[in-house]
Chain A
Amino acid sequence: MYDVNIYPTLKDVDNLNEPNHSMVLYDNAKYGNLVKYRYLENGLKKGEHTIFLTHDKVTLVEDEIASLDIDIDNFKRKNLLHIYQIENILERQDGLTSGYNDLLKTVTADSKPPYRFIGCTIPDVSTLKGIQAELFIERLFHSNFSKYQCSFLCTYDVNSIERTNRPSWIAQLLQNHHNLIYATDPANAVTFDPDLLNTFQD
């Protein structure tokens, strides 16, 4: 496992309470990948069925994982690591809820709980339609979190989030996760519980 000295925020990833629904928000793909794959490796080492969702080619993800010295073949042999290139559920005729439930059913078909997911459901959140769909799914998932028997790290590139109303989208994303990992340069990266941004109810 790569050293936390490379990127101290990885220590926060190691300390996340389980199960959790967390998000990594990154402005640099290199740091985003360190967090994603650390989260993935932690699950694999615990013997969890770890499911990586991508819109790119599976081999691309495999290459990135291998570049971090994670023993990809070993975990695949043990049937713990599953990488799926997922469909765009926005294109489905039967709606987002149905599309999302089918997606989860498909990617967990060869696995058993507790699951660990890493990824983002909607491929393009730079459009209004895309980010609204993503938020719909985040709310759906977060409000039913306990029934999924999993941990989930949602992955967002800050710069890919719809531009005109970005602060509001980010605020809403924060409200639907247990933890935020802000993956930026090591001096400014931070992990916190977004509930801290709320006020006490009178």
Chain B
Amino acid sequence: MSTKGSFIYQNDVCILMARREKRTKLEIFYDILTAIQNESSSGEVKPTRVQQRCNMSFDKFSRYMEALKNEGLIHDSSPIITEKGTKLLQDYDKIKDFLNKMKLEYVSNEEASHYV
């Protein structure tokens, strides 16, 4: 058995899916982008304020901000949301709806342990 991201594999077969307490990249990106969006509506976006809004440790926040830059969701030089980032915010509900419709809902650790 091995884990790859939020998918659980056994004998190279994916069972499904994530540990509930561990959020997906989608959820983390959405939370940070939303925090940036909210901050920007009240003026200059200060990373420390965004970090506080997201309730994350500095290390994790820095790492996720770097990932957001690498994905082109925020600008390199400052925490301003790009066009691609805006689109992700707009598409978030559609992606969640898709996951629900396809029954790709997350299962808890306890439920997942039945498969492994």
Residues of A within 8 A of B (CB): 158, 166-168, 170-172, 175, 182, 188-192, 195-201
Most chain B CB inside 10 Å of its own CB: which residue of A167, A196, A198: A196
Question: Hey, which chain B residues are within 8 Å of A197, CB to CB?
Answer: 5-7, 24-26, 99, 104
A198 and B95 form a contact (CB under 8 A)? no
16 pairs, CB–CB < 8 Å, chain A vs chain B: A167-B102, A167-B103, A168-B14, A168-B15, A171-B7, A171-B14, A171-B17, A171-B104, A182-B94, A190-B98, A196-B24, A197-B6, A197-B25, A198-B6, A198-B25, A199-B22
By a CB distance below 8 angstroms, the chain A residues around B63 are 200
Among A166, A175, A200, which residue has its beta carbon within 8 angstroms of that of B14?
Answer: A175
B-side interface mostly: mixed
Interface string of B24-57 (1 = CB under 8 A from A): 1110110000000000000000000000000000
* B16 lies within 8 A of A167 (CB): yes
Contact A168–B22 (Cβ < 8 Å): no
> Does B111 touch A at the CB level, under 8 Å?
no
Q: With both chains docked as a complex, state the minimum distance between the C-beta of A20 and any C-beta of chain B, in angstroms.
A: 15
Chain A's nearest CB lies how many Å from the CB of B2?
A: 12
Q: Which of B19, B25, B102 contacts A170 (CB 8 A)?
A: B102
Interchain CB contact under 8 A, B91 and A190: yes
Chain B CB within 10 A, most for which of A175, A182, A198: A198
Query: Inside 8 A of A200's CB, which chain B residues have their CB?
Result: 25, 28, 63-64, 67
A191 to B26, CA, bound (A): 13
Q: Mark B62-74, 1 if CB is under 8 A from A, else 0.
A: 0110010000000
> Which residues 63-105 in B have Cβ within 8 Å of A in the complex?
63-64, 67, 88, 91, 94-95, 97-99, 102-104
